[in-house]
Structure 1
């Protein structure tokens, strides 16, 4: 097998490691590309290509994350990871860990960890690497990596949301939610929302943005008011998994992406709605709509009689 073939075979794993460390599709793709350049420039053949490439992409991602943290401190409004519609890496033996670790809620928890803690947690808890491999990847002793893993696991467990185990129930509730969502069914929405539900948007100062909205009544009223006019002007609500959780992509009449929605569901109710409108975070998914123009057109449609 050639170097290129080996790399392509491992590319999904490398991207998945980098994305969980960085929370950015674009930065993860750049980290994977840099890993390939270093692999191609190396004059020696590693004993384990998987170990070498995983260590390389981890080190690159840690460096990128350290500089990204500074930028995120100056971010306008709430910061969310870039939405991921499909994780390219599959491992039946670790499917539960992979699905949980890519959710918006889990990635936001990972933001609380130091870059080293985050890398160690991802390699150990998500991908099942041994501490010897992790120590080589992060250039720390095995003992230090074990301590980092313990601290990271404690921080994650303290804030980890407990999603319902039954994926089918989540999908059925999400289907009912989006039916009510598209119809502007106020009562139907309120019935599916937790009493203390929160809706939060990430516009990054580049799209229409609202302050976090809390409470089933408030969230239901907002959704019932804004979605029907959007549909009336040709907008489409496309149900889709977003970061491994029930969600949707909203598109304009030309198919351009307006935003994504991701739902956290617990105890048979929607607990959190996270929407991403920042065009910079949507560009990897395709052409992005002009959110301001859509808002103006939807407002005009709302004022017109049916």
Structure 2
């Protein structure tokens, strides 16, 4: 097998490691490409291409993560990871760890760790690398990596998100939620939401967004209904899709361009959190991106027309 063939075989794993470290699709793809360039230029043949390439992509990602964390401190509004519709790496033996670590909630929790803690946790806890391999990847001793892993695991366990274990039940509830959302059904939405549900949006200053999360079943239900009705009226559609391993959807305009993604955290038959990524810079990998500002103006005009028509109808009676 040639180097190129070996690399392509390992590409899904390398991307999955980089994405969990960087929480960005384009940054992860760049890290994987840089990994290939370094291996292509290397004169030596590693005994384990998997261990070697995983170590290289981890080191590259740690360097990128350090600068990314500085940029995120000045981010406009709530920062959310770039949504991922499909994880290319599938390992039945670690499917639970892979799925849990992919959710937006888990990626946000990983943000609390230092880049080194994050790398050790992802390599050992998520992908099952032995400590000697982890140590080689991060440039620390095996003993030090064990201590780092304990510390990182403790931080993650303190805030570890819980999700509905039954996949079928999640899908059924998500289907009911999105049906109610399309119809602007406030009552239908309210009964599916947890009392302390939160709606979080990431526009990055490049899309309409609220300054703070919307909290509470009544507030969230009314906000969602107010968003959905004019959006559907101007030809918008909602395409159910798994987002970061959780029930979600891609919202599109009348031309099929991406407006935003929605991801739901579901537990005990209720929606706990709704996360919406609207920042166009984070949606290009999903498909051509819509002009959300133009859509917002059109939706606002449609809502005003509907209110005027309703007032006129009421006046007649």
Whether TM-score is above 0.5 comes out as yes
User: Aligned partners of 2:282 and 2:207: how far apart in 1?
Assistant: 11
CA drift of 1:286 comes to 1.5
Instruction: Say whether residues 1:72 and 2:91 are aligned partners.
Output: no
Partner of 1:212: 213
Partner of 1:84: 84
Q: 4+ residue runs of structure 1 moved beyond 6 angstroms?
A: none
- Render the CA deviation track for 1:166-199: whole Å, top value 9, x for unaligned: 1111111000000000000110000000001000
Partner of 1:12: 12
User: Aligned partners of 2:169 and 2:287: how far apart in 1?
Assistant: 30
Tell me, what secondary structure is at the counterpart of 1:109? helix
Partner of 1:237: 238
User: Aligned partners of 2:218 and 2:233: how far apart in 1?
Assistant: 23
Partner of 1:260: 261
CA drift of 1:283 comes to 1.1
User: Aligned partners of 1:286 and 1:47: how far apart in 2?
Assistant: 39
Partner of 2:315: none
CA drift of 1:233 comes to 0.7
Structure 2: gaps of 5 or more residues? 310-317
CA drift of 1:161 comes to 1.4
User: Aligned partners of 1:219 and 1:209: how far apart in 2?
Assistant: 14
Instruction: Say whether residues 1:289 and 2:290 are aligned partners.
Output: yes
Q: Determine which structure has more spread, i.e. the larger CA radius of gyration.
A: 2
User: Aligned partners of 1:258 and 1:184: how far apart in 2?
Assistant: 18
CA drift of 1:263 comes to 0.5
Tell me, what secondary structure is at the counterpart of 2:289? coil
Instruction: Say whether residues 1:95 and 2:78 are aligned partners.
Output: no
Tell me, what secondary structure is at the counterpart of 1:98? helix
Tell me, what secondary structure is at the counterpart of 2:290? coil
Tell me, what secondary structure is at the counterpart of 1:242? coil
Aligned length: 306
- Render the CA deviation track for 1:214-247: whole Å, top value 9, x for unaligned: 0000000011111011011110101000000000
Map residues 167-246 of structure 1 onto 2, 5 A cutoff.
167-210=167-210, 211-246=212-247
CA drift of 1:143 comes to 0.5
Partner of 2:301: 300
- Render the CA deviation track for 1:11-38: whole Å, top value 9, x for unaligned: 0000000000000001000000000000
CA drift of 1:300 comes to 1.1
User: Aligned partners of 1:154 and 1:166: how far apart in 2?
Assistant: 26
CA drift of 1:301 comes to 1.1
User: Aligned partners of 2:68 and 2:234: how far apart in 1?
Assistant: 38
Structure 1: gaps of 5 or more residues? none
